[in-house]
Amino acid sequence: MASQLLLPPNQFTKSVSPQVFITGDCQGFSDLTLKRKSNQATRVSNGSSLRVKAALRSTHNKSVVEIPKQWYNLVADLSVKPPPPLHPKTFEPIKPEDLAHLFPNELIKQEATQERFIDIPEEVLEIYKLWRPTPLIRAKRLEKLLQTPARIYFKYEGGSPAGSHKPNTAVPQAYYNAKEGVKNVVTETGAGQWGSSLAFASSLFGLDCEVWQVANSYHTKPYRRLMMQTWGAKVHPSPSDLTEAGRRILESDPSSPGSLGIAISEAVEVAARNEDTKYCLGSVLNHVLLHQTIIGEECIQQMENFGETPDLIIGCTGGGSNFAGLSFPFIREKLKGKINPVIRAVEPSACPSLTKGVYAYDFGDTAGLTPLMKMHTLGHDFIPDPIHAGGLRYHGMAPLISHVYEQGFMEAISIPQIECFQGAIQFARTEGIIPAPEPTHAIAATIREALRCKETGEAKVILMAMCGHGHFDLTSYDKYLKGELVDLSFSEEKIRKSLSKVPHVV
């Protein structure tokens, strides 16, 4: 059966805003006030395509999932710590004061913390209740279509106001900036999930928000731009003529499609020259990955309630926040010896930083304004082809994910976009949710594994990160359905040229 929201039995007729009721098909739903009305469920107006269940199957099958009260920091449990970021001029480890012009103090502390858990502020938890906990859903119809013995679960983050996992970090970033008296925040965005999430969060805390959106996505995904503007943000295509970094790119290539690296350069430049302005980043950095671990912390509870242990955990990777959010709490359990899942990152074939990049210190942006970070990189001035998964068009991988990959705790593959959209159509026509182009990579990898299980007879438990819906990406689906979508791959020569400009750090 498809997953559905539950009507609680009579003994659960009080307000349970931070909790959800579950059964074996679907777990999770946020901020529901369930009242004593016979055979009637509270309406949930979160814009997602989540499905609801009419009743609990039995009184012994009821349970609750609470919103976690702490974020988890994987660094605390790693015996080999990740290399520190370096100052771009001195090549010495970065100091907190070196980041003060970009980030509020609390986020700087979180970036470098060795603490295992960080308390989530009450103000942030109250906003999380708008959509958290998010559901863990068993994809029974997809299993049936594939005729696989595998059991497929997906953790769905598309029910947030912005339609993705990005508000999990946008809200705390806006909160900490507002708490320290910041008036303006600037950022970059690819497909627009991050930009719209920060615009949403900024509107809640009275911050002015300015966004540089990768030009290709700015022009092809107008509705995400309109979301940002609806929440009060100013949005510019990147590269733009508003910054030195943007003007330099346009001089060399007036028709540049842009990249996340370029957009980061523009936003960082604006933050650095304005004292009342701070920079927010939607992926890559440790504090961002930290905030996203609320996904995996919830999911551990939900998998336990299902009585399942994942054999394989799959997520798409661009900068890595969605992947880290789901996988890092499970890596903790793996390090403890409690479970031993294979953890697999999936990246686009046109931008394969983990599978084709080098592990080296490099800039996080194109112009070389950020600290140097040890990460898997294709070179900071690498501009990926304009694939439809705009959120994955980043030249590098989060340093902490890169470190975990180097330590052997996870693996990585790349998949071309046509196979991804084939999987997305299968998923949409069985599970009802139209996925964003980014998680179609995880879907394609999941289908590959499920079909392998069909051949071997293995009943693996596959857990997949479904980080957002694709309601504003339908032009991509239009091209696929018309047969106009093509696979784009990287050029070896292009990467060699880009890698030649990676700084040499001894």
Do residues 327 and 202 share a domain?
no
**Cα(157)–Cα(48) distance, integer angstroms:** 9
pTM: 0.86
CA angle (253 as vertex; 247, 259 as ends), nearest 5? 75
* Residue-level pLDDT at 225: 94
* Residue-level pLDDT at 62: 33
- Residue 24 domain-assigned? no
Name residue 337's amino acid.
G
**Mind giving me the DSSP string for 20-44?**
-BB-SSEE---S-B--S-TT-PPP-
The per-residue b/e assignment along 118-128, b for 16 or more CB within 10 angstroms, e otherwise, is: bebeeebbebb
**Cα(149)–Cα(455) distance, integer angstroms:** 9
**Cα(106)–Cα(17) distance, integer angstroms:** 28
Do residues 420 and 382 share a domain?
yes
Give me the residues paired with residue 164 across strands. 468
Of 244, 279, 314, which residue sits at a domain end? 279
Q: How distant is the alpha carbon of residue 354 from its chain centre?
A: 16
Do residues 367 and 227 share a domain?
no
What integer is the mean pLDDT of 399-422?
96
Q: Which token pair is 237? A: 């295509």
Among residues 427, 431, 364, which one has the least CA distance to residue 394?
A: 364
Peptide bond into 239 cis (omega under 30): yes
Do residues 302 and 336 share a domain?
yes
C-alpha distances (whole Å) from 266 to each of 188, 249, 322, 397, 461 are 8, 11, 24, 20, 43
Do residues 372 and 483 share a domain?
yes
> CATH number for the domain including 156?
3.40.50.1100
- Residue 45 domain-assigned? no
Q: What one-character DSSP code corresponds to residue 468?
A: B
- Residue 449 domain-assigned? yes
**Cα(219)–Cα(225) distance, integer angstroms:** 9
* Residue-level pLDDT at 393: 61
The per-residue b/e assignment along 399-409, b for 16 or more CB within 10 angstroms, e otherwise, is: bbbbbbbeeeb
Decide if pLDDT at 480 tops 70. Answer: yes
Each residue's pLDDT tens digit, 92-151? 999 999 999 999 999 999 999 999 999 999 999 999 999 999 999 999 999 999 999 999
* Residue-level pLDDT at 392: 64
Of 279, 300, 334, which residue sits at a domain end? 279
Neighbouring C-beta atoms of residue 111, cutoff 10 Å: 17
Contact residues for 168 (Cβ-Cβ < 8 A; gap 6+): 128, 157, 160, 291, 292, 294, 295, 325
Residue that is written with structure tokens 């950022």 in the block: 187
- Residue 236 domain-assigned? yes
Of 246, 279, 312, which residue sits at a domain end? 279
Query: What's the total number of domains in the chain?
Result: 2
The number of C-alpha atoms within 13 Å of 193 and in the hemisphere containing its C-beta is 32
Do residues 379 and 476 share a domain?
yes
* Residue-level pLDDT at 380: 84
* Residue-level pLDDT at 28: 53
Do residues 365 and 263 share a domain?
no
Neighbouring C-beta atoms of residue 39, cutoff 10 Å: 7
% of the chain exceeding 70 in pLDDT: 84
Do residues 202 and 344 share a domain?
no
- Residue 106 domain-assigned? no
The number of C-alpha atoms within 13 Å of 277 and in the hemisphere containing its C-beta is 16
According to DSSP, the β-strands at 184-189 and 208-214 are parallel
Q: Which ranges of 341-491 would DSSP assign to H, the alpha helix?
A: 353-356, 399-406, 417-431, 440-456, 474-481
Do residues 292 and 309 share a domain?
yes
- Residue 461 domain-assigned? yes
Each residue's pLDDT tens digit, 208-247? 999 999 998 899 889 999 999 999 999 999 999 999 999 9
According to DSSP, the β-strands at 461-466 and 151-156 are parallel
Which of 34-38, 127-131, 490-494 is the most confident on average? 127-131
Do residues 156 and 169 share a domain?
no
What integer is the mean pLDDT of 420-441?
97
- Residue 27 domain-assigned? no
Q: Which ranges of 407-458 would DSSP assign to H, the alpha helix?
A: 417-431, 440-456
Do residues 145 and 262 share a domain?
no
**Cα(107)–Cα(175) distance, integer angstroms:** 10
Average model confidence (pLDDT) for the chain? 86
* Residue-level pLDDT at 496: 79
**Cα(477)–Cα(123) distance, integer angstroms:** 38
- Residue 103 domain-assigned? no
**Cα(157)–Cα(167) distance, integer angstroms:** 10
C-alpha distances (whole Å) from 85 to each of 126, 196, 287 are 33, 28, 13
Each residue's pLDDT tens digit, 63-102? 568 999 999 999 999 999 999 999 988 999 999 999 999 9
Rg (CA), the chain: 22
Residue range(s) defining the domain that contains residue 126: 111-163+285-500
Decide if pLDDT at 41 tops 80. Answer: no
Do residues 224 and 290 share a domain?
no
Q: In this structure, are residues 291 and 175 in contact, taking their beta carbons and an 8 Å threshold? A: no
